[in-house]
Amino acid sequence: MLNSSEVLRGYMDTIILAQLKEGDSYGYSIGKNIHDLTDGMIEMKEATLYTTFRKLESSGMIESYWGDGNSGARRRYYHLTEEGKQLLEENQKDWKRYSKMICSMLGV
Amino acid sequence: MLNSSEVLRGYMDTIILAQLKEGDSYGYSIGKNIHDLTDGMIEMKEATLYTTFRKLESSGMIESYWGDGNSGARRRYYHLTEEGKQLLEENQKDWKRYSKMICSMLGV
DNA sequence: AAAATATACATTGACACGCGAGGTATAGCG
DNA sequence: CGCTATACCTCGCGTGTCAATGTATATTTT
């Protein structure tokens, strides 16, 4: 069983995984995307973003490669691995269960 | 605007506030309550519980008093202040908004 | 051409939350 | 008298997030 703090905390990485499910992308774009899709409500700071990439890559959830650097600043693209997909699905399930539970605890 | 980490994190205190809205209660009972109401899914550890009480009391969200010690171990009861009620309502609103947003970001 | 802005990546140190581990004390039961 | 349940409390650690700071390139503005 997960404990509640692991559920309440650290959903930033799951949001990243969900973004990468739509296709390979790079840090800056993912950050902007999250910001824009939520009308600025969820803002992932760069430090958090890149720290999380490191963590996800070292645990095998994502892989990275450098994009063609012939135009604009260089971009490091990320790709969701099979393991990452599985983690995403688990986290989605957990989120459903736990967020429902919290709703009921908050009377919401 | 709140940033996302403040929302995702630290909902333990809001759960406590919600419990206290039902009436004054004491630490051990609140902990058991949370455990039982969620079938053990959400388990608030004692260290977290008492740390959070301190924080909530020093910021004026709750008040405490010692219960009648004539039977059993002594109990410190907590009471939700008017300020605490307001915070609870805000947090409930925020939770609604943010959890909905996260659901949409996770495609759930 | 120079300055400003947007894009893009990265690291370091600090802070706050939750918790493991440990402690104290009382009441009831066999 | 030990054992269990109840009931409270604190110290120090791990982890996630972020502010601050730095680098570099492309585009737009002046």
Q: What pLDDT digit, counting tens, does each position of A84-101 carry?
A: 999 999 999 988 988 999
Tokens of B95: 């939770």
Distance A9 CA to D23 C1' (A): 31
CB contact under 8 A, A96 and B108: yes
If you average pLDDT over every residue of chain A, what do you get? 88
| Pair of tokens at residue A73 | 């600043």
Q: Tens of pLDDT along B43-77?
A: 899 999 999 999 999 999 999 999 976 667 889 99
Residues 48-77 of B with CB under 8 A from A: 48
The number of angstroms, rounded, from the C-alpha of B53 to the middle of its chain's C-alpha atoms is 9
Confidence band, pLDDT 50/70/90 cuts, at residue A5:
very low
CB proximity list for B44: less than 8 A, separation 6 or greater: A4, B12, B15, B16, B30, B31, B34, B35
Please state the pTM of the whole predicted model: 0.88
User: CA A99, A104, B82: angle at the middle one, nearest 5?
Assistant: 110
pLDDT, position A83: 97
Most confident of A5-9, A20-24, B5-9: A20-24
A12, A38, A105 ranked by CB distance to B18: nearest: A105
Q: Find, among B102, B105, B103, B9, the residue nearest to A20 by Cα.
A: B105
- Is A42's CB within 8 Å of B105's CB? yes
